[in-house]
Structure 1
């Protein structure tokens, strides 16, 4: 059994960031498919910009995102900073604000999660 937190920090600009997103989603999916594993998928920083794109049924990565959506959360502060507040509200994605409006990475580590960033 493993406990893993996948954090998507890559924004929506550029092919390299798209690759980071897809690799992060695939990693989260791999852990989610194993019933003995625990996975947290967190969109933080510029990564919060992906939510409106991934919620779009026309997105090439909609189905991949749907496979891990139940494990997904976003940084509360960054949704506002990156202008995706309304999209996150519409999607109903859980917001994390444990540490000054941001997710607490320390809490994840303290809870035994291995943290992987993309």
Structure 2
């Protein structure tokens, strides 16, 4: 059994950002497909901007996102800082605010999660 926390930090501005997103979602799917693994998928920082795009059924990576969406959460503070509040609310994703409005990386480490950032 593996505990993995995939953190998407890449924004939506460049082709390389899209590559980081896709690699992160593919890694998340790999963990999610293994029933023995525990997965946390967190959109943080500029990564919160992806929610609106990925919720669009016409987006190239919508289906990949949908395959791991049930595991997804969003940094509460960063959703506001990157103007993603409405998209996150519309999507109904969990907001994480354990550490001054942000996810608690320490808690994940304490729970034996490997943290992988994209």
| Normalised TM-score (structure 2) | 0.99
Aligned to 1:73, what secondary structure does the other structure show? strand
How many residues align structurally? Answer: 118
Aligned residue for 2:65? 65
**Counterpart position of 2:20:** 20
The DSSP-based 3-state class of the residue aligned with 2:41 is strand
Which runs of 5 or more residues in structure 1 are unaligned? none
Find the counterpart in structure 1 of residue 39 from structure 2: 39
**Unaligned residue ranges in structure 2 (runs of 5+):** none
Superposition misfits of 4+ residues, deviation over 2 angstroms: none
Q: 2: CA distance between counterparts of 1:106 and 1:117?
A: 15
Deviations along 1:24-54, one digit per CA (max 9) or x if unpaired, are 0000000000000000000000000000000
- TM-score, normalization: structure 1? 0.99
Are positions 1:8 and 2:5 aligned together? no
RMSD: 0.3
For the residue of structure 2 that corresponds to 1:68, the secondary structure is helix
- In the TM superposition, 1:33-112 aligns within 5 A as 33-112=33-112
